[in-house]
Amino acid sequence: GAGVSQSPSNKVTEKGKDVELRCDPISGHTALYWYRQSLGQGLEFLIYFQGNSAPDKSGLPSDRFSAERTGGSVSTLTIQRTQQEDSAVYLCASSLSTVSGNTIYFGEGSWLTVV
């Protein structure tokens, strides 16, 4: 596709349920990033992938959060046993690589509401 595509665009889930958020990066982009943005807050880095590898998982808030990327393309962010504080916009981004100076393009985000 022309841009970074994320699904679902909106998700309302009950506390304790698991959710999966999907990201389809720009074709040919080897680097993929997950951020989240809580209401009125700045962007919080979660994890990035170079190819299928995630060298830095330090941004994941807890062990309930995990992410994977297969085939160097689509990535899935999984949140297990969701809590109300997980409510946020989850943003995916991609770039040609992680080399300095590359442009990072963001998707429109997945709005998650935990009730």
Partner 1 sequence: DAKTTQPPSMDCAEGRAANLPCNHSTISGNEYVYWYRQIHSQGPQYIIHGLKNNETNEMASLIITEDRKSSTLILPHATLRDTAVYYCINSGSARQLTFGSGTQLTVLP
Residue 69 Cβ vs partner 1, minimum distance, rounded to whole Å? 14
Residue 81 Cβ vs partner 1, minimum distance, rounded to whole Å? 27
Residues 113, 52 contacting (CB under 8 angstroms): no
Nearest CB to partner 1, comparing residues 73 and 80:
73
Name which position in 21, 48, 67, 86 contacts partner 1 (CB under 8 A): 48
State yes or no: residue 43 binds partner 1 (CB under 8 A). yes
State yes or no: residue 53 binds partner 1 (CB under 8 A). no
d(CA 9, CA 41): 19
Residue 61 Cβ vs partner 1, minimum distance, rounded to whole Å? 16
Nearest C-alpha neighbor of 93 from the set 21, 26, 8: 26
Cβ atoms < 10 Å from Cβ of 114: 19
